[in-house]
Structure formats: structure tokens, C-alpha cells
Structure 1
């Protein structure tokens, strides 16, 4: 289907879309956590696939890995663009903190939470803290993480689970 798409075959592209769009949309949604933005990202992904299908053979990746890589990278780019501009999440978080934490109290509490999280991440060690950050802040899948740190997916999943449990214990202290 990718080879057909590279040759401009619209039927092959339509079939590729039908077969892969549910999984690629799920990836966009898991990274972006916003359905309309995930749908926009998916549209951009398929434009990139249409335009770059000829480069797939030179990438050395399996077809699905190539598609997932394009999708995850596009979603993460959108996420980074979103987080680089001001959002209302801080004001929503401050509002949900309740009336006891307003103004500088809320900002101080927010800063304390971040400091506490950073201290707990340091206790995990650089490799595990980096894995937690990339998996949960950048939307890396277990498969992507296992490839990055060169370990089986089941080990990467258990590694992250253990790290999260240690973080939970540390933060609750």
C-alpha cells in the first residue's frame, strides 16, 4: 500500500488509510489528549505519508513502524507547540485548589509540587527518570521506549511501572 501510495495510487492510499487510521488516531489521541487536535494531527500525518511514501524504503523501518514514527513525531511536535504557548491549565489548576490557595499561595503550592516531583525523579536515577519523562510527557509507547533503551517491551513496561510506584511513594511522603 505504501509503494502504491508512493506511485500516486489513490486507491492504495485510501486502503492504507482505512487499515491504519484507527491505530494512528489512537496514538495521536494518547499523546495530545484532545480529540479535535488529534484529528488535525492525523490529517497532517496522512499528508506527510502521501508526500513521503517514496522515502519509506530508504528508512529501513517496517511499514507500520514507519507510520507510527511519523504519527508520534507529529503528535509530539504539536504537543510541544501547545506547551510552549500559554495555556489555561495553570489557572484551572489554581481554581481547583480551592479558596485557601489563591494568589501567591497557589503559585507557591504549585512550585512546591514541582520541586517535590523533581526531587523524587532525581531519586529514581537519571535513566529511569528520563524514561518516565519521555513515556508520560512525550507520549512514548512501551515499544518505543524498549527500542530506545534496548530492552524487551515487557521489561520496559515493568521498569516504568516500578518507577511510577517509587514516585508515588516518594511524593506521598
Structure 2
């Protein structure tokens, strides 16, 4: 379904149109389910996450128009954030020492989320190939696997702020490449 139709469905959902929600579900649930499944790695958890995603869409559809982003990117960000929230909720209390230890990428749409919405996987792969392999891997782990900045910093044995800088610069390079 074209982005314009999805944006229209989201607008109708914002007005409380249940039929529009059903149509939106039919159009985008496979893609959103795949995002949840990729992050959660468990079908039952991904199904639960997808249900929560559509509850959030129902509740937040009125906020979509103010964002000015691609509707598929907006929906993908909700799915990704919901899956990450479920992973965070599973962690034992001992793992939640402080919010600093659970730093997660900003939930606002980023170049990758917009690109996922546009469905331009080949362009993304080409642009990811222009990044240093270690940086490309860090981007995948952060934005596909849902690892936090802290987890990535530990994995690559770099300071937390260095990891944030890697990801920010990598996303800027991806954005530049995708705009070419």
C-alpha cells in the first residue's frame, strides 16, 4: 500500500475510525511483526508486542501529523520501541542500576527508520557498505537488534560517549549516502 494511503489511514484512526485501524493492520502488520520478531527473537513475544503496537497506534495516531515523517518510518519506530521496551521489562531488577546503563537510541525517526519505511533495502546495503565494518555492525546491532549504547560500548570495548559518536556519525553518513 502506498505511503499516502497509509498516512490517510493513520489520519482516520486518529478520528477513531475502527475500520481504518483494521485496514492499517492488514496493510502493515506483517512488516511490523517482522521488526518485533527480529528484535525479540520469540514468536509469542513478537505477537504480544504487535498487539501493543496497534494499541499505541490507536492511542497516538493524532500525534502522527505533527511529526511530519514518513508514515512507514513512524510505524516502524513504534514497533521497534515497543520490542525494546519488552526486552527492558524482562531484565531483572539488578540489571536496572540506573538509567545510564539502559541508554537506548533516541526514539524519534532516524535515517534508518525512514529508510525502512521507504523499503529501499538495496540502497541501505550499499550505503552500509561505505561504513567501516565495525561501525556498520554497531549500527545494525543498535537499530535492528535493539542493543543499548551501553551494551554496544561494552561489546566494542569503547567508552559510552565514543559509541554514541560512532552511531551518530554513521547515521549522518548513511543519510548523506541515501540522499545521493
Q: Please state which band the TM-score falls in when normalised by the shorter chain.
A: 0.5 to 0.7
What does the per-residue CA deviation read over 1:96-129, in whole Å, with 9 as the maximum and x for residues that have no partner?
Answer: xxxxxxxxxxxxxxxxxxxxxxxxxxxx999567
Task: Determine the structure 2 residue equivalent to 1:37.
Answer: 45
Aligned residues of 1:45 and 1:74 also touching (Cα < 8 A): yes
Q: How many residues align?
A: 114
Task: Determine the structure 2 residue equivalent to 1:64.
Answer: 72
Q: 1:83 to 1:133 in 2, by over 3 A?
A: farther
Aligned residues of 2:38 and 2:144 also touching (Cα < 8 A): no
Which of the pair has more CA radius of gyration?
1
Task: For 1:44-63, list aligned pairs within 5 A.
Answer: 44-63=52-71
Task: Determine the structure 2 residue equivalent to 1:9.
Answer: 17
CA–CA separation in structure 1 for the residues paired with 2:86 and 2:170: 21
Q: 1:11 to 1:133 in 2, by over 3 A?
A: closer
Task: For 1:1-173, list aligned pairs within 5 A.
Answer: 1-84=9-92, 130-131=138-139, 133-135=141-143, 137-138=145-146, 149-152=171-174
CA–CA separation in structure 2 for the residues paired with 1:148 and 1:53: 30
- State the structure with bigger RCO (CA 8 A, min sep 6), 1 or 2: 2
Unaligned runs of 5+ in 2: 1-8, 95-131, 149-166
- The alignment's C-alpha RMSD in Å is 3.4
Question: TM-score scaled by structure 1?
Answer: 0.55
Unaligned runs of 5+ in 1: 87-123, 157-173
